[in-house]
Structure 1
Amino acid sequence: MTRPDQPTPAALSDDALFGPEAADYARYRPGLPDAAVHLLAATQHGVPDPVLLDLGTGTGQVPRALLPVLHRLVHIDLVDVNGSMLEVARAALEPVRGGCTVDVFTGAAHTFAPAGPGRAPTLITCSRAFHWMSRPEVLSMADRVAAPHAVVAVMGDGSLWTHQADWTAALRELIQTYLGEDRRAGTRGTYTGPGRAYEDDLADSAFSNVTEHRFPVARAWTPEDVIGYLRTTSFARPALFADRHHAFEAAVLRLLQEHARGGVLKEDTEFTVLLARRRGGDA
């Protein structure tokens, strides 16, 4: 799993990036495949009191998916630089968390520290967010705070920008007519090309015992859902277009309606999970 983005340091912001779009993020971002959720839950087999640390949690997709499957979760730490996202995530978990306690940490992932003793994470997850982080520092933090046999799971499936299909290619071209050829990333930066593979980051960390798991995913988007999704991305969020955003969304709707078949746009992709443990643990 190579890193999809290399944002500039300015991308590491707080509510400036996705704060206004938190509700759209919760509504339009695809969730985790069921098979991936069950794989994560299986890593906690035999763990008496599992503790989840979810880095770059966004609106809490990972813990929301895990709670109904991993009923034994006793504590969840949600970490994000975006306070609005954390508010949405905490509210979404409240009706389903049962006796599981939840803490939130607003800040960069590598600066996280547990709020209290006895909460060493046994599962550390990072879904679609590792590229935003200082990865060596994050993995050093994980080594400091994690339980001895903890599992680190780095997950992702690219984006509609990287997906190869006729309709996504036309969509990229339309975005570029408004914002220029360079792909936007973060609040002021642009995409600068691929960097190290996540596997290399893990290999240089304490969690160097890595296995890769790939799950095919077939999604059916409506044009309206794609427009909602675009509002949540760093490459097409509303603030980038200023007073042209309404015109942009109207153009996107026309384009996607032309490409849709029966009102549907198909995306066939893979969701990749890297499971990493310290040497001596089972991967």
Structure 2
Amino acid sequence: MVSDDALFGPEAADYARYRPGLPDAAVRLLAATQHGVPDPVLLDLGTGTGQVPRALLPVLHRLVHIDLVDVNESMLEAARAALEPVNSVCTVDVFTGAAHTFTPAAPGRAPTLITCSRSFHWMSRPQVLSMAGRVAAPHAVVAIMGDGSLWTHQADWTAALRELIQSYLGEDRRAGTRGTYAGPGRSYEDDLADSAFSEVTEHAFPVARTWKSEDVLGYLRTTSFARPALFAGRHSAFEPAALRLLQEHARGGVLKEDAVFTMLLARRHGSDA
């Protein structure tokens, strides 16, 4: 097993506290994909602190097993701890490593739902889908989800915040433990079209969020483009400057974000929709 705690290990607690959850309608749609499945098994790739399974469990009570996959051991520990109360009715395994290298810990647990929320762009996508084709149940559903970030969101306050970050870190968006973010070379739809899961439907969920200035700072600490380690000792100067900027843009003490949470649901050709 390979763990990469350099990227988000120190920020696991902030990640759990400040990252926005999944829209309720998206969670209900995920649960609906398992209608008629007698013993659903969830494989959550890039699980982070376990947002997807934590959201699903209250509406998909029949889940019998969850596999959590992440390169970050600290994140997996947080996810496992959050799911500890369900262990009596739903078993949980963790796999530390790149998503495309996942192998089930025990036979007979073929996933019927494979989820990947806000993390597919970090992965070796064709290899991940090839792995999914090998391990998934015949009628499994693959769900690739996301809603961008405050870096990509278009608003006056996010534009000003982006400029402040760039004044410290340079024009290009930072990503990973080093380097910059170039974006995926092709669409996720094209990735799926070339995989075993070529029957795809797209679903969009508008989301209106309000942020407190202090919560935006917490969120930034969890991102690949503004996490503290990137600032090389200047983070203690950045955060007060960012807080002043955010407070100047806040209206009634809050900052508004209008996002769209997009979900691609993919199945094997000819499987039941």
Matched ranges for 1:223-238 at <5 A: 223-238=213-228
Residues matched between the structures, number: 272
Identical aligned pairs, as a percentage?
Answer: 89
The verdict on how the C-alpha distance between 1:53 and 1:190 changes in structure 2, with shifts beyond 3 A counting, is same
Q: Give the distance between the partners of 2:59 and 2:108, measured in 1 at CA.
A: 23
Q: Which of 229, 243, 255 is 1:239 aligned to? A: 229
Matched ranges for 1:213-224 at <5 A: 213-224=203-214
Report deviation, 1:13: 7.1
Task: Verify the 8 A CA contact 1:120 1:146 in the aligned structure 2.
Answer: yes
Task: Verify the 8 A CA contact 2:3 2:97 in the aligned structure 1.
Answer: no
Q: In the alignment, what sits opposite 1:272?
A: 262
Q: Give the distance between the partners of 2:178 and 2:205, measured in 1 at CA.
A: 33
Q: In the alignment, what sits opposite 2:25?
A: 35
Given residue 97 of structure 2, which amino acid in structure 1 is its aligned partner?
Answer: G
Q: Give the distance between the partners of 1:141 and 1:193, measured in 2 at CA.
A: 22
Report deviation, 1:282: 3.2
Q: Give the distance between the partners of 1:193 and 1:131, measured in 2 at CA.
A: 7
| SS of residue paired to 1:164 | coil
Given residue 175 of structure 1, which amino acid in structure 2 is its aligned partner?
Answer: I
The verdict on how the C-alpha distance between 1:90 and 1:182 changes in structure 2, with shifts beyond 3 A counting, is same
| SS of residue paired to 1:202 | helix
Q: Give the distance between the partners of 2:213 and 2:198, measured in 1 at CA.
A: 42
Task: Verify the 8 A CA contact 1:24 1:232 in the aligned structure 2.
Answer: yes
The verdict on how the C-alpha distance between 1:193 and 1:145 changes in structure 2, with shifts beyond 3 A counting, is closer
Given residue 32 of structure 1, which amino acid in structure 2 is its aligned partner?
Answer: L
Task: Verify the 8 A CA contact 2:121 2:184 in the aligned structure 1.
Answer: no
Q: Give the distance between the partners of 1:97 and 1:196, measured in 2 at CA.
A: 39
Deviates more, 1:242-251 or 1:252-261: 242-251
Q: In the alignment, what sits opposite 1:45?
A: 35
Report deviation, 1:195: 1.9
Higher relative contact order (CA 8 A, sep 6+): 1
Per the normalisation by structure 2, the TM-score is 0.98
Given residue 258 of structure 1, which amino acid in structure 2 is its aligned partner?
Answer: E
Task: Verify the 8 A CA contact 2:44 2:68 in the aligned structure 1.
Answer: yes
| SS of residue paired to 2:234 | helix
| SS of residue paired to 2:6 | helix
Q: Is the counterpart of residue 151 in structure 1 residue 141 in structure 2?
A: yes
> Cα deviation per residue 1:88-130 (whole Å; 9 max; x = unaligned)?
0000111245410000000000000000011000000000000
Per the normalisation by structure 1, the TM-score is 0.94
| SS of residue paired to 2:85 | coil
Structure 2 unaligned blocks of 5 or more: none
Deviates more, 1:91-100 or 1:51-60: 91-100
Q: Give the distance between the partners of 1:193 and 1:239, measured in 2 at CA.
A: 22
Matched ranges for 1:186-265 at <5 A: 186-265=176-255
Report deviation, 1:281: 1.4
Q: Give the distance between the partners of 1:156 and 1:28, measured in 2 at CA.
A: 16
Q: Give the distance between the partners of 2:162 and 2:272, measured in 1 at CA.
A: 42
Q: Is the counterpart of residue 135 in structure 1 residue 125 in structure 2?
A: yes
Q: Give the distance between the partners of 2:151 and 2:74, measured in 1 at CA.
A: 25
Q: Give the distance between the partners of 1:133 and 1:232, measured in 2 at CA.
A: 18
Q: Give the distance between the partners of 1:96 and 1:30, measured in 2 at CA.
A: 22
Q: Give the distance between the partners of 1:272 and 1:141, measured in 2 at CA.
A: 23
Report deviation, 1:189: 1.3
Task: Verify the 8 A CA contact 1:75 1:102 in the aligned structure 2.
Answer: yes
